[in-house]
Structure 1
Amino acid sequence: MNTGVISVRYARALLKSAIDTKSEELVYRDMTLLAKNYIDVPQLRQTIDNPMLEAEKKQMLLVTACGGEEASSLTKAFISLVLKEGRESMIQFMANSYVTLYRKQKNVIRGKLTTAVQLSPETEQRMKSMVENRTNGRVEFESEVNPDIIGGFIMEYDTYRMDASVKTRLNTILNTLKK
């Protein structure tokens, strides 16, 4: 069996358990954090994959990567099961699979909003609400400040991209004048 099939099976089982215990939001938070920590801390994978490290220490490390004491009891039990079955080398893929399955089931859309200056929380919430109304889903925005766009904004979600930046408008005018 390959890593993808195994990871998705574990993720589906975790999602089903989370739904049954009404803790899918908490587990989603934990799995999102775990997946992010695997990316941000490359040594995590090396440490978890180390066969010389005791299972208790791996458990402690993975629970910490899921938020420590804030991690849900289901997440802790899941990590324990994964370690018991010797599947710890796949836990990053399991976390990513859970996040993907959760987003699909709950109609969560990832989006990115790039602005030249930091937006007020009210303005960011209005933009988020606009996308949610248009997509009939929940939106998770990643906000980024990029002074290079001069002004305006660039909003991306799903396959949609709206570029209302001053930089793009100036480039369009410049290209029109060159013709």
Structure 2
Amino acid sequence: MQNPRLASRYAKSLVDLSSEKGQLEAVQADMLFVQQLSKTNPDVVALLKSPIIKPEKKQQILAAILEGRVNALTAAFVKLLVSKGRESNLPEIAVEFLKQYNVIKNITKVKITTAVPMDAATLEVIKKKVQAGSAKQVELETAVNAELIGGFVLETEDKLFDASILRDLKDIRKQFTENIFVPAIR
């Protein structure tokens, strides 16, 4: 993050305004769209950060991209960012908005990474287990990493539970390399 304080302040302003107007859910959906757009399209991020492209041209391009896809409040917010020269921070602001939205709605994000994709029934069981230990609503995100070999890695806001075979193998390797008796045998 380039400027977390700026992103937090703009996101807070957008959260407050959208709550006041009763459009918090709509703006949240728009920020999800903006976040996805910035993750999947590097050209948009390059456009936002480009000092060569004039603000008027940026405004036209962003209006064409966002027209019909976002709420009027979100479109006005993006226009404000461009007029203030803060459009390069839009991806950061979107991420921060979603964090603040999750705090307001009492939602916790949980990411589970496995070696192979999991079926829906297993995911539902894991979601219920995680939710039982918390008063918050759980939003589950999945990822696949074949390097784990087996097991899973569960990440929450401030905790990491690594039950993967890869970690077990690394622990065993560490034990063997730190073993003081093995070097003495040679």
Q: State the TM-score, normalized to the length of structure 1.
A: 0.75
Matched ranges for 1:1-179 at <5 A: 4-48=4-48, 49=50, 50-51=53-54, 53=57, 55-61=59-65, 63=66, 69-169=68-168
Structure 1 residues 22 and 41, CA, compared in 2 at 3 Å: closer, same or farther? same
1:104-142 deviations in whole A, cap 9, x for unaligned?
A: 222332221112222111211221222222122122322
Q: State the TM-score, normalized to the length of structure 2.
A: 0.73
**Structure 1: which 5+ residue stretches go unaligned?**
none
Q: Which amino acid aligns with 1:148?
A: E
The structure that has the greater radius of gyration is: 2
Structure 1 residues 171 and 86, CA, compared in 2 at 3 Å: closer, same or farther? closer
Structure 1 residues 90 and 116, CA, compared in 2 at 3 Å: closer, same or farther? closer
Q: Is the 8 A contact 1:128 1:141 kept in 2?
A: yes
**Structure 2: which 5+ residue stretches go unaligned?**
180-186
Q: Which amino acid aligns with 1:55?
A: Q
Quote the Cα distance in structure 2 between the aligned partners of 1:27 and 1:8.
16
Q: Which amino acid aligns with 1:116?
A: A
Displaced runs of 4 or more, over 6 A: 173-178
How far apart are 1:51 and its partner, in Å?
A: 1.0
Percent identical across equivalent pairs? 26
Q: Is the 8 A contact 1:116 1:148 kept in 2?
A: yes
1:75-112 deviations in whole A, cap 9, x for unaligned?
A: 22322333344442332332233122222222332221
Q: Is the 8 A contact 1:59 1:83 kept in 2?
A: no
State the number of aligned residues.
173
